[in-house]
Amino acid sequence: MQSACTTCSRYALEADLKDSSLDSIVVRLGRLLGRSETFLRLQKPLSSLNYIAAAVLAYNLFLAPSGAPARLPEPLFGLCSLGLGLLILSRVSSATERFSTARSLWADVVSTIRNLSRQAHLWAGRDEFMKFSRWLPALPAAMVCHLRGAEPELAAMLRASRGSRALQAADSSLSDGEIEEVIGRPEGMSSPRYVYLRIMALSTELQVPELQKTALENELSRLSAALTVCERSSEEVRQQYTKQTARLLFLWLALLPFALPSQLGVGAVFSHQLIAFGLLGIEDVGIQLEEPFKVLPLEGPCAKLAAECQALRVSWRRMQRGSEDEKAHLRLGDGSQDKLKPNGDQEVIRL
């Protein structure tokens, strides 16, 4: 049945490609624009501007007295265009910088959690490591909900941080009671801060040498700094600045039909729509980039961290045996490499 569906789809695609008529091209273009989220968000302002441009064109062609069309001086639009262009450029540049900073911060969070899980796996005992590592993937999950303001999704994200359901039977993952504990945290404390405090408390129970404990504390301090900067980066930009920029742009576009030559006819309306879609699209991109954590695909890294931490917990014994062999190899030195042969039952797990 699947092959039949594939064949039908291929025939439909070939028929669509063979049909190169103007109607088919318009239909395909409409489908493409209909799937654009930017186009869907800009439908209302584009429709309003379209009505304004059509009304100005109709007045100039049919209702205007002879020699007195509704027009505005073009030099005025030239001067305003320069200032408006610089304003939009500055807005988009700052939004892009904000977006890049958010990406770097999230990469820092992911890297730090990976370092903590591997260091605790190498240096701590089994029970201590199990308690400590199951809270690590819960931190980015709580951060996603907090940074996006999606508090109702917190329970689902924390359950997803457990990892694969097929391995949860053999894994000491986060329990339902601990998830409810995060949800019912003290008022005024964010969920990632509460999870971070739990990780800090469990790190003090790790029985590791002083040098290794210092390394863990450095990673935890780095994680706390990244969490603080992420919270500050998620703060909304001042709405007055955003609204004022949008108002100026819409006003300029609304007055633009008065500067377009009426000799273009209907082409003036189409050209006005293209200009409006381009400028409003850039403005919309700037608005989206100003809230980077709502745009970035953060669910994928969270799922990878959950799978990695779960693999470390499930395969702790085999991986711990491999690390002990490596430590013995380091104690013996490079001159005795031939004394350590890899056993057949040893497994290497690549994450």
Exposed/middle/buried for 236, CB within 10 Å: 0-12, 13-18, 19+? exposed
> Residue 58: pLDDT band by 50, 70, 90 thresholds?
confident
pLDDT at 313 exceeding the cut of 50? yes
Rounded CA gap, 24 and 37, in Å? 22
CA 304 to chain centre: 15
Rounded CA gap, 182 and 155, in Å? 9
Rounded CA gap, 201 and 321, in Å? 28
> Per-residue pLDDT tens for 151-172?
889 999 998 888 777 565 555 7
CA 155 to chain centre: 20
CA 240 to chain centre: 25
SS3 43: helix
Distance set, CA 38 to CA 12, 31, 42, 95, 277 (Å): 28, 14, 6, 17, 9
Whether residue 70 contacts residue 258, with contact meaning beta carbons closer than 8 Å, is answered with: yes
Distance set, CA 71 to CA 59, 67, 252, 256, 326 (Å): 11, 11, 14, 9, 82
Whether residue 162 contacts residue 135, with contact meaning beta carbons closer than 8 Å, is answered with: no
Q: Note the pLDDT of residue 5.
A: 44
pTM: 0.70
Where would I find the H helices in the chain?
2-18, 22-34, 37-41, 43-58, 74-123, 126-133, 138-148, 154-160, 176-183, 191-203, 210-233, 239-255, 266-289, 292-295, 299-314, 316-332
pLDDT at 51 exceeding the cut of 60? yes
> Per-residue pLDDT tens for 239-283?
667 778 888 888 889 888 888 776 677 888 888 888 898 888 888
pLDDT at 66 exceeding the cut of 80? no
> Residue 39: pLDDT band by 50, 70, 90 thresholds?
confident
- Domains of the chain, by residue range, sit at 112-236+304-324
Distance set, CA 323 to CA 139, 246, 328, 350 (Å): 27, 59, 9, 14
> Residue 144: pLDDT band by 50, 70, 90 thresholds?
very high
pLDDT at 350 exceeding the cut of 60? no
Per-chain mean pLDDT for the chain:
77
CA 241 to chain centre: 24
Distance set, CA 297 to CA 159, 300, 301, 302 (Å): 18, 7, 8, 10
More confident residue, 155 or 17: 155
Q: Note the pLDDT of residue 60.
A: 80
All residues at 6 or more sequence positions from 248 whose CB lies less than 8 Å from its CB, including other chains:
84, 87
Would you state the structure tokens that stand for residue 44, as one six-digit string?
Answer: 């209302």
Rounded CA gap, 208 and 216, in Å? 10
Q: Note the pLDDT of residue 247.
A: 85
Distance set, CA 301 to CA 193, 261, 310, 351 (Å): 19, 53, 14, 13
Q: Note the pLDDT of residue 114.
A: 92
